[in-house]
Structure 1
């Protein structure tokens, strides 16, 4: 990657030098820029060279020469001085008036926007700069007005100039040839007593000692916002980031902005929602919703739930991330299993199989061991009754077991049966009083394989489209079963109702979803939020592209995150608002007597036993009647 970058820079330099050489030859041939330098011009040449050798000595210099200076400034002497000896060798770009030539050179501007410092030599308003668009994005720019009869104050107000983080102006303010050029900076948030912004603020005459360092020539333009009121594009229904009243907003993002405002001296205004009631996405070449207001520069920034993705980074500035979260799913808790099955819950299926296997082994063993005794006393039926009676902790004909081998086998079984009976009884007490739920859906794969559909409020998020086009088969399956709820005042009420009906899993940002189900009494008791999330990402504030004070917000947000304040505010808000009980809380019951539903199992067994006894009784009576009739015959 580094080698490719160096190769690109070398190619650009060679092309630029070739262009400069061609320009120089044409200049000398046509005698357009070569004339005897006047004292003012010499002062500018000397000042530019001192800037290149001093505060900008560690940066690549991009020299942009506007065609308006052809008759008032000697470019060739400046080029000779800049390339003389060990001086820096700038990347020279000349911008003529011809439009086609401008278009060919515009891509170079984006290359020069990183580590380069741009020196713009002009003597009038450079109209070509208005057409540069986002291709023009220098971080550092020094505007040099070499025309003593023209004031560059209007140029300093241009948005294309103001988008630079480091900005300075050098121009003469007097026709006195003995005075050096004066240096200005721009502090747009500062205002005069008449309320006008200070797009041009004097720092004094040029002096290479006074402006020896880069910070001297390019001071922090946004050390303070001087009471500026920032316009925020926001949606108030975005818990826990932004919620509450417009005049007294609450939430993690609001607290972050309040801390930044206290540090940088600014305030902000909130709104209820976007004019089109959309969240913000790119549709037919236009940004809608909150992001659309920021992209059109109607608002200064947005602080809602927006993750940092490639499409947004191409069109907006983003601050340092302040939180990490994704989208979660909420489902209805399945109804508890029938209470009569509770009699089987104390043991797992493997334990029940082991108990049955033990019965099938011990009963025949007890019978056959007793059969080989000197005086057999029990039948196979007696052996089965003795073994099963011990499991039910019933006493009986233990005196029938008299020989030594039978007693040893019976004692071993009674000891094991005692442990089994006590374990079953203890666990049965807990099972009878606590409803048992089937396994909950806790993963995306399990949700995709279930019969649930997915529902979401259509407020302009990327999730529905991302699910449908996902390469993951489980996410794609969920996207194909997606139902969108209209985004209106009843949208989220309908969404919760779909979850309570038990046929849909509803999706939204994880924290918002937790708060949504906790606000509804029934949903709080009958739904749960899956732990696994999708499309998790970092959250950040978004600003118009090339906002010069984005780095100031970055600095403050990083400090708040590193101090742990953002996470603390989030936990405090969630602890205060999230009243949703856990699944273990849902299953707790008060200390009340057992009801008939709790004891369905024993009564069903009793009924089944009575029915089975009745069948056996009828069979025995029938057998005796047939025997009696047969004896009479």
Structure 2
């Protein structure tokens, strides 16, 4: 085991040149050195003097018997400190290849090692077994140091081969390293860049991309017998493929319609989209939320948007057609109109009485030129001679019924003109408001806040146990009350059907809820992959319209998913940030939702402005009028037969004498 490390002087010089090459690349903050007792002598004072510029180092010395798949406390804390300090160069000098392999597995599993850092390691075939192939898909910026004792190409003396993993080429059944350079006598033979970014150009390599049809991230539409895949994340993926030079191989997980994102199974594995990305897919598309649950299983890219997650709730129609005649004005407006009617009728009556008294005073104290003026009544004053007539004619003017004749007297005429202007303005306002009410749809009662949702008593639900856990662990009382009656449901069409029946509220992002709402309106959605086969999801008569709650429960960032410790993430984040900053993501989001918005606006157009139900209030008013008129008619008949006819002075042949005597 120790034969390959006898010449420590050569290893020391190689490390100096490699560390200087890493430092020249720029951005090196510190180096974390993991070595055993056999290689501790390499790190002598001469090595530090040759480093230019000087490099901070975190030195971790492990015992030869230590199991690095479960390191002791001191080793673990030192590795954590190196990660915390941002060390982006790791030098692993362990004579035992199995020990180094277990360290890599532990660091990858628990994210103790920065897999995107530069690595310098001793070449050992035990690092390249099939069980470690997944590690070399994540640790790609690595240089393996292999010392050869004999000469090459006719030259004598030892030489060192520097090799790396064959990224982006996939590792097949056997790991075959790719030679970078040869070091001999203190210099490199080819002077190639040793720590170049391998993700800048993936050389048209095919990457496995698992996707889930979920609006607006991935939208699958059928064209004849083929599926066309679009959406925001598909556009981002196409941009990354063009800039990073790779070819995406799009596929769905097994039973994607049922498993969707996937959950943990009894055997510890995962189903659905998460199961694919955990087991080796390169990229995952499916509206992945930036949550600790997903971060523990994969790497999430830079969030390209934040979505409002809320509830899809049923609308409740309010049958207020019987109030159609009083809806144009509010309560206080009707009170004001009634008070003005009574006050104006009283003023008309008062002015008519005053004008009559004034004329009688003139007849008694002044000599009139015309002898007929003594017996002449003022024109039209009889309209307001009694209180009942005054109120009646004032009400007639209010409903734009002209007076039989203009009243006499200047004061009464001036008041009549002013009151007519008031009646015209009030009548026009009433008719305009009435027209708007009859033309608009019937008002609905909607649920727009969490408090209203809790008070409604609806059962809430959504996809997955993680959503249920989110409400169960909520810190506010309203969220906890929702969590108490939260149910997981796998079929969104079934959930929409239950919402339409008025017994359920479905939790999802607002864009997907808009898709469900439009799809529920019997529209053959072009993005629909298959027809609903569940009988409970078929629309039936009496179903309510669907309403998206205006208040957001939470705004969650949305990202693309990469396999754990993926080397693609840093550069993909850079391109995603550029797409967000220039507005491409917003444009793609609008394109994905445009067909839904267009269809929704077409469905919401008013096709029938009037119907019999809207005139229900008018028929009620007419029925009340008929009823009261018949009551009055019967009352008059009873009074005529029971009172008038039984009067001793009643004579049906001399009715005029009877009324003279009654007067």
TM class by shorter chain equals: 0.7 to 0.9
Deviates more, 1:441-450 or 1:409-418: 441-450
The answer for the alignment partner of 1:618 in structure 2 is 634
Match of 1:354 among 336, 360, 365: 336
Q: Matches of residues 406-425 of structure 1 in structure 2 within 5 Å?
A: 406-425=412-431
- CA offset at residue 160 of structure 1? 4.5
The answer for the alignment partner of 1:364 in structure 2 is 346
**RMSD of aligned Cα (Å):** 3.8
Work out the CA distance in 2 between the residues paired with 1:233 and 1:107: 37
The answer for the alignment partner of 2:475 in structure 1 is 471
- CA offset at residue 355 of structure 1? 0.9
What is the TM-score normalised by the length of structure 2?
A: 0.76
Q: 1:624 to 1:525 in 2, by over 3 A?
A: closer
User: Are 1:269 and 2:250 counterparts?
Assistant: yes
Provide, for residues 285-307 of structure 1, a one-character-per-residue CA deviation record: whole Å limited to 9, x for no partner.
Answer: 94633354146424333211211
Match of 1:98 among 65, 72, 84: 65
What is the TM-score normalised by the length of structure 1?
A: 0.80
Q: Matches of residues 187-266 of structure 1 in structure 2 within 5 Å?
A: 187-190=166-169, 199-205=177-183, 216-236=193-213, 240-244=217-221, 248-263=228-243, 264-266=245-247
> Is contact 2:216-2:592 (8 Å) kept?
no
Provide, for residues 437-489 of structure 1, a one-character-per-residue CA deviation record: whole Å limited to 9, x for no partner.
Answer: 13433333333333433344xx425323322432333333333343444x3xx
User: Are 1:514 and 2:514 counterparts?
Assistant: yes
- CA offset at residue 525 of structure 1? 9.0
- CA offset at residue 167 of structure 1? 1.8
SS in 2 for 1:557: helix
The answer for the alignment partner of 1:5 in structure 2 is none
Which is greater in Rg? Answer: 2
The answer for the alignment partner of 2:403 in structure 1 is 396
Match of 2:607 among 585, 589, 595: 589
Provide, for residues 610-630 of structure 1, a one-character-per-residue CA deviation record: whole Å limited to 9, x for no partner.
Answer: 210111122223233333355
Match of 1:164 among 139, 144, 152: 139
> Is contact 1:335-1:437 (8 Å) kept?
yes
Work out the CA distance in 1 between the residues paired with 2:179 and 2:269: 36
- CA offset at residue 538 of structure 1? 1.1
Provide, for residues 35-58 of structure 1, a one-character-per-residue CA deviation record: whole Å limited to 9, x for no partner.
Answer: 9x97x4323212323444553384
Q: Matches of residues 284-295 of structure 1 in structure 2 within 5 Å?
A: 286=268, 288-290=270-272, 292-294=274-276
Work out the CA distance in 2 between the residues paired with 1:587 and 1:379: 53
Which segments of 5 or more consecutive residues in structure 2 lack a partner in the other structure? Answer: 360-380, 523-538, 650-663
Provide, for residues 513-563 of structure 1, a one-character-per-residue CA deviation record: whole Å limited to 9, x for no partner.
Answer: 211222233579933333333232111122332222222322332233333
The answer for the alignment partner of 1:454 in structure 2 is 460
Match of 1:327 among 302, 309, 325: 309
Q: How many residues in Structure 1 have an aligned counterpart in Structure 2?
A: 579
SS in 2 for 1:408: helix
Q: 1:129 to 1:415 in 2, by over 3 A?
A: same
Structure with more contact order per residue of length (Cα contacts < 8 Å, sep ≥ 6): 2
User: Are 1:543 and 2:562 counterparts?
Assistant: yes
Provide, for residues 375-417 of structure 1, a one-character-per-residue CA deviation record: whole Å limited to 9, x for no partner.
Answer: 4751111210121011111122453x32333333333222111
Q: 1:295 to 1:269 in 2, by over 3 A?
A: closer
> Is contact 2:499-2:546 (8 Å) kept?
yes
- CA offset at residue 182 of structure 1? 3.5
Work out the CA distance in 1 between the residues paired with 2:476 and 2:639: 68
Q: 1:506 to 1:55 in 2, by over 3 A?
A: closer
Which segments of 5 or more consecutive residues in structure 1 lack a partner in the other structure? Answer: 1-32
Work out the CA distance in 2 between the residues paired with 1:161 and 1:122: 18
> Is contact 1:452-1:504 (8 Å) kept?
yes
The answer for the alignment partner of 2:393 in structure 1 is 386
Q: 1:435 to 1:163 in 2, by over 3 A?
A: closer
> Is contact 2:310-2:554 (8 Å) kept?
no
Q: 1:531 to 1:199 in 2, by over 3 A?
A: farther
SS in 1 for 2:513: helix
Q: 1:497 to 1:295 in 2, by over 3 A?
A: closer
